[in-house]
Structure 1
Amino acid sequence: MPDNFPRFYSMNQEFNKTMVQEFILIAFSGLQQLQLLLFFLVLIAYIICVTGNITIIVLVRIEPLLQTPMYFFISTFSVLEIMFVTVTIPKLLDNLISGNKRITFIECFTQMFIFNSLGATECYLLLVMAFDRDLAINSPLRYSAIMRKDICTQLAVAPWIVGLSLSSLTLIYTAQLKFCGPNQINHFICDVAPLQNLSCSDPSMSKLNTIMVAILAIIFPVLIIIAFYVHIINAILKIKGNKSKQKAFSTCSSHLIVTSLFFGAALVVYIRPTGSQNDKFLALIYMVLTPLLNPFIYTLKNSDVKMAITHLVLKKIHLFCDL
């Protein structure tokens, strides 16, 4: 046996003791008895969010009235919303009801990667949707020729490529950090800032990368979306007749509200990645409340969707009456 074996064994044993193998998601442990109430509220929100978005997807799929580029992007956004909440909320529900706060190292980083990928993808899909509305209002005669099915598919895929690429950068820089303990994350998900705060190595490069990715994923699309809406509003103001103006703006209002809610919450949470005590409460709004509202915004503010729902309900009533 080599002379240095005891020393090597001792170092290896010390390494295993100090390296974190799992994390503890503290979530909302401080709320104590209110955790059960929060569980039911989050569960109801999750069910409504998933049901509402599935309804939009089905409607767009089966109703000829909604088979246009705008509703194709809305249904794609609904798919993303379902995935977005499913990555985070079931783990939160398990944490609240069973007290199972443990998450393995691999599971933690996998959740972080998927969650950040979906978030960045949504940002760029909202940008694509703004481009679609700008083109429809400013170039109505060329709209059908430009927004062909293959172009719409490419525009829907592009945000995924951007989202996965940006999230990969965050994963690489965060995974290079060393975690020696403590392993308690003051959050209900594995997010970048709380993990950086637990690192026993210098997280400055990882934090710089987080800021750069946040600028590319949030600030950059926001600025372009604002530019598109300035262009859209200028075009609407030039339209003669209040009815025509109202009709033109109504095609953008749902997207504008959803974009404002989504980016407003994202800016608060991610442009200042400090990992403060309030981050998990802000994130709860961003990850639960905003996705919950989106299906209602697209149905209540959109006459085409309401008409499609009415048509579908009447069709089902007629089928039932004929039996």
Structure 2
Amino acid sequence: WLPLREPAAEEAVRSFLEAVRAGDVGAALALAGESDGSERFLVAEALDDRWEVVQVAQVAYTETPRGATAEVYAEIEAHDGTRLGHRYRVGLEGGDPVVRNALARTEHIPEGFGHLELNGYSADPGEESHVLLLPGVYELYESQPATLDLGVYPVLVLGDQFIELGGEHATTWLPQPWPQLSEEGRRALDEALRARLDACAERAPADGCPFAPPPGDERIDIPADATWEITAYPQVTAAYMYLPGSTERSFELFTTEPGSVEVEAVIVEEDGGERRTRLNCGISPDGVHAEFDMAGGVTLTPGSTAAEHCGSMVEVE
């Protein structure tokens, strides 16, 4: 014997999932009974329909003096074959069924990303620390510049479960970006650093430039018209840092191989005599901050720990 129609709880879950996949957010939310968090992404523009409903089955049913509750297992499959399952709780306390745990609820951690971008749709969750999501496939931060690799991949979402496409294990949180420089980003950083050092060499001594004698060394006199010649550009690596209030993608530079500059200088001897010589100064741009904008540009600014003078100077033989 088979019933003429599927149980009301199954029908509610199936209708909810099919409404989401069709982009009918209003119909989906009419069946959902949860609204604790930012609702900025409960819109059709944030959805991607590249998934299918593959299973819906009632697996439990209980009755209490307050009414009946059913548990419905649902499973969906993304376009690449990744599957994800979840047990929904459906309230049947008279009237229309309500899918109580219909929406995903994930913590939003800005970490320098003042907005969250899903499937090309971007929004600021506002004061809410949690974001509500409908089931489906989500591409994260597609519009980020080619200079950055965020280390996040598309995810399949169902209930409180998140799994990266092609992944083997689900989690209960949305992957958070932690940017690294792409190959293009490393090239852009290298070009920006060379341009900055070239500009410093042309106007040295200048604020924010490390072309100056070590402080307190009164023996070294560098004429104002002296030419600073860069003999080797430094090699650097960059580590992501979160600057509160910043809308840029900020990195701090660390030297992997120092550079060097040379300059004609005058050395004052102990007896008061002077002699002209050529000095070498090491360049280590530690503490300089690099900010990557959405257009792929790089802006370098000296941080509070960046050097403003040579660490040491030696004579060139």
Shorter-normalised TM range: under 0.3
Compare CA radii of gyration and give the structure with the larger one.
2
- Give TM-score scaled by structure 1 length: 0.26
Question: Comparing both structures, which one devotes a greater share of its residues to strand?
Answer: 2
- Give TM-score scaled by structure 2 length: 0.26
Question: Comparing both structures, which one devotes a greater share of its residues to helix?
Answer: 1
| Relative contact order higher in (CA < 8 Å, ≥ 6 apart) | 1
